[in-house]
Amino acid sequence: MKKKFLFGPVKSRRLGISLGVDCVPAKSCNLNCVYCECGAADNFFLQAQMFFPVSDIEKELADYLDQKPMLDYITFSGAGEPLLYAGLGELAGLIKKKYPEYKIALLTNGVLFSCNYNFSSLSVFDLIIPSFDAASEDVFRIVNRPGPGITAQALLDGLIALRKNFTGKIWLEIFFIKGINDSNDEVKKLAAAAEKINPEKVQINSLDRPGAEKWAVPPALERLQEINHIIPRSEIITRQAGAFLKNPEIKKNIADFLSRRPVTAADLSVLSGQEKHTVQKQLDELQAQGRIKSSKTTAGIFYISINNKNKQQSWNS
Ligand code: SF4
């Protein structure tokens, strides 16, 4: 039977097997992000609404969960902003009470956290993944195109309040757009903001599919790696990074990458989402073939292509 509120379960890169719950009408949001994969905003709301009766969504969820599916998370997300659903806390509480064996996650833009949000309604969530893409007001307006009265500072204050009032895990997501919020200046401001929010980790993301605007494109993988070094406790989660070493041409990818800049096995591991020992094996094989060389430094062992002329002089095999 076609489901109205549920989607999946899907194999999610960060949440494992995740059953999605979409509790707002398509593209109902208080932002209109240039990278939104749902397209341009249709329904702009500044306050939470009871779009559907809690009992309707609860019934559809219960019908599914009664079959005891294998799930890592029930995830409130979808094609709009879940915090705009006024029944969110009540619904999550009912589900957690009836099915305590399932973990519950929330993906949110966090805007409503700055509006005297009742954080106790979120206490049943195990994980919240809020977004924060811009620390400067002008960049915020370009990337997230907020509704009237919504500012980057208010969003930051709301996320700091979330940390103070929520005991579950917080993974902060930052979505980078080439040439818009990936300058060194903005990245440093984002790093400082992330320190204030104090999440368990920061997830660096970018477009894998076309967003709302054609001009919104992802930064190069190398730039995401540089950003990864600037923002503490961060990891890159783009599909582009994940595909980097899973590609059958794995060794070619590494060799190409190392022809542009030196990196450590740990860097490549972060970039690709692959275990470090898998990456190390490929590096060892390339080195044995004479295609790359290594240099031991105080910051670790760096690898580079023997064709990289720029760095060649300062390198010892
Ligand atoms: S917050 Fe999410 S749903 Fe809203 S516009 Fe941005 S990406 Fe789309």
In which band, very low, low, confident or very high, does the pLDDT at 311 lie, cut at 50, 70 and 90?
very low
239-317 is classed CATH 1.10.357.10? no
Q: Which residue has the tokens 């757009």?
A: 177
What would the pLDDT profile of 206-235 be if each residue is shown by its tens digit? Answer: 987 778 888 999 999 889 989 999 999 999
Mutate to test the pocket of ligand 1, among 24, 28, 30, 31 (most ligand atoms within 8 A of CB): 31
First-last CA distance in the chain: 62
Whole-angstrom Cα distance, residue 196 to residue 198? 5
Residue nearest to atom 6 of ligand 1 (CA): 33
Whole-angstrom Cα distance, residue 20 to residue 128? 14
6-237 is classed CATH 3.40.50.11540? no
Using CB distances shorter than 6 Å, the residues near ligand 1 are 29, 31-33, 36, 38, 80-81, 109
Q: How many angstroms does the Cα of residue 96 sit away from the middle of ligand 1?
A: 26
Query: For ligand 1, what atom is nearest to the CA of residue 35?
Result: 7
In which band, very low, low, confident or very high, does the pLDDT at 42 lie, cut at 50, 70 and 90?
low
Mutate to test the pocket of ligand 1, among 28, 32, 35, 36 (most ligand atoms within 8 A of CB): 36
CATH 3.20.20.70 residue window(s) in the chain: 6-237
Least confident of 152-156, 157-161, 239-243, 245-249: 245-249
Residue 257's φ and ψ, nearest 5 degrees, are: -60, -45
- Stated pTM of the model: 0.78
Q: How far is CA 243 from the centre of its chain?
A: 16
pLDDT of residue 313: 38
Query: Is residue 265 a contact partner of residue 257, using CB atoms and an 8 Å limit?
Result: no
- pLDDT(28) > 60: yes
What would the pLDDT profile of 269-281 be if each residue is shown by its tens digit? Answer: 765 656 677 788 8
CATH 1.10.10.10 residue window(s) in the chain: 239-317
What would the pLDDT profile of 101-143 be if each residue is shown by its tens digit? Answer: 999 999 999 999 998 899 999 999 999 999 999 999 999 999 9
Angle at Cα 170 formed by Cα 164 and Cα 172, nearest 5°? Answer: 110
Tell me how long the chain is. 317
Higher pLDDT pick, 33 / 12: 33
Ramachandran region, residue 290 (left: φ > 0; alpha: ψ -120 to 50; beta: rest): left
- pLDDT(178) > 60: yes
